[in-house]
Amino acid sequence: MLNWKLYFNKNHNTLKRYFRLYVAFLSCLSLSALHGQTVYHHVNNTGVTELLDELANLKVIELNDAFKPYSRMEIATWLQQASENRGQLNKRQLQELDFYLKDFNKELKPDKDFDKRLDGYYHKDSLFTFSINPILGIQYWSNENGTAYHRRNGLQMFSYIGDRVGIYASLRDNHENKLLNDTAYLTPRTGANYKAQYDFSEMLGGLSYDWNWGRISVVKDFLQVGTNYHGANIVSGKAPSYAYVRLTIRPVHWLDFNYIHGWLVSEVVDSARSYTYAGAVRDVFHDKYMALNFFTLKPFDQFHFSFGNSIVYSDLGIHPAYLIPVMFFKSVDHTYNATTNAAGQNNTMFFDFSVRSLKHLHLYGTWFLDVITISTLFDENNHSNHWSMKGGLRISNLIPNVTATAEYTRTNPLAYKNDLETTQYESNHYNLGHYLRDNSDELYVSLSYKPIRAFRAQVYYIKARKGPDYPYIRERDETGQSLVLGKSFMESVEWQKEQIGFKINYQVINDGYVFLEYAKRTINGDQERYTPEIFYGNTNTWSVGLHLGF
């Protein structure tokens, strides 16, 4: 039997050293801690995130904007940091800060004793927080081709239990009087899984548990990966929401790590499992999953470099190798599918940088690699590299309250594509990557002015092009190695849109917006395939609407 008294006397100094190291380790974790309780903020509710972007450009806060949605607690913490540096903000920014704190002080204050936003119902005590609000919205378009509208209604709620557990849910029922978002349409609008003619519903929700340096969540929500101001090209969030497990770890101040394992919707019928009963046919879809990891390093102040990889896989069930967050999934795929590439899964890699080292200036770029051959990476005569690249800049408040943005995206032919329907980079047949899909490019330029609290006036220009839609054909070289030969970029322009417009929107109350937009569009090419009918040809479109909740 071990004599614990003798052992302790002999090893007293060693144990003290270990204890000090342990305390130091916990202190490091607490310095970089994730704050407890997670409820995710809707990615389309951009009012507060636009202010956060401004604050980051002023170097008041440090923002990693390549992986969204943010949690409400993260937003609240950033607003609190800005409140501690109020002397660096102008009058309008201070008014916006106080306006958003009416909502996000729910995460910061121990009770309801603060200037609070208007809520349908709100309760808070030492254990339990609960908030519920309505969702209402309508948008109306009118031009030479006619009129269209989209309306929605529903409820959204969130709750915290203790210091660790967060729960949220929202349901919105949608109706369009015309088809505005077919899977083939080249529009950044969020996709819809129509249940009847132009009707669809969207249910979001999640359950999360937080600890000092991480969190794990099970959610059905949107996901955006890649720094952008007009359409992410790693994961865009265009597809209808799907369920995923999200793990976030921040063990030190210079590292953020995110991992998701998602249950995508293939809509590919598995005939072997489909059946007929009592005269009714039940189509069963092939299972489809996605694993994705995303490392963000912060080697310098206001400098973020991110990298990661993903795999869309099917026919394996939920595979344990893809539940290991830090794996290089392409290598795993080689292990399990070494005999034939036809049985392989769909692997991608990506890189992202975001730099705000100079006050007022944000430089950023993303690179999504689907298929790549290093030896021919910069050979314009070789088209075997299927990738998407984005680069841009934003200048904020060099002139007070004025923001200028310029962004260019180019996607080579066959990027995001695969020869197997069950492993396509999509969910509900909506592409997970950039909304223009492969063989496309886009120039986006905007200038916005915010003269008063939560009011923005914006002018913008968009030129988007789409080349031929090539089939994904797998071949074999003389050694038997499988390869997919690419095509020349934009051999012809099959669809093109030029759009110039202005938009004004005002957040009257928290989460309550009114807006007006005018857009002059010229769309040429294969309009029937890629464009809602109301926007065919040359149009002058007026749009007006309101949103209460998202």
Q: For residue range 439-477, what is the model confidence (pLDDT) as tens digits? A: 999 999 999 999 999 999 999 999 999 999 999 887 765
Q: Across-strand partners of 444?
A: 407, 462
CA distance 343 to 338: 9
Q: What is the mean pLDDT of residues 540-544?
A: 98
Which pLDDT score is estimated for 279? 83
Map out the domains of the chain as residue ranges. Answer: 8-548
Q: Is residue 274 scored above 80 in pLDDT?
A: yes
* Class at the top of the CATH hierarchy for domain 8-548: mainly beta
Band the pLDDT of 123: cuts 50, 70, 90.
very high
Residue located via tokens 């294969």: 526
Which pLDDT score is estimated for 506? 98
Helix/strand/coil (H/E/C) assignment for every residue in 124-148: ECCCEEEEEEEEEEEEEEEECCEEE
Q: What is the mean pLDDT of residues 133-152?
A: 97
Spatial contact of 401 and 445, defined as CB atoms under 8 Å apart: no
Band the pLDDT of 479: cuts 50, 70, 90.
low
Q: What is the mean pLDDT of residues 78-86?
A: 97
Band the pLDDT of 29: cuts 50, 70, 90.
very low
Q: Specify the amino acid at residue 310.
A: S
Which pLDDT score is estimated for 277? 87
Which pLDDT score is estimated for 411? 97
Band the pLDDT of 379: cuts 50, 70, 90.
low
DSSP-assigned letter for residue 501: E
In this structure, what is the dihedral angle of CA atoms 64, 66, 67, 69, given to the nearest 10 degrees?
A: 80
Q: Is residue 32 scored above 60 in pLDDT?
A: no
Which pLDDT score is estimated for 1? 42
Which helix (H) or strand (E) segment is 179 a member of?
none
What's the pLDDT tens digit per position in 152-197?
Answer: 999 999 999 999 999 999 999 999 999 999 999 999 999 999 988 8
What's the pLDDT tens digit per position in 322-365?
Answer: 999 999 999 999 888 765 555 689 999 999 999 999 999 999 99
Spatial contact of 127 and 111, defined as CB atoms under 8 Å apart: no
Q: Is residue 482 scored above 70 in pLDDT?
A: no
Give the three-state DSSP class for 35: coil
Lowest mean pLDDT among 65-74, 277-286, 503-512: 277-286
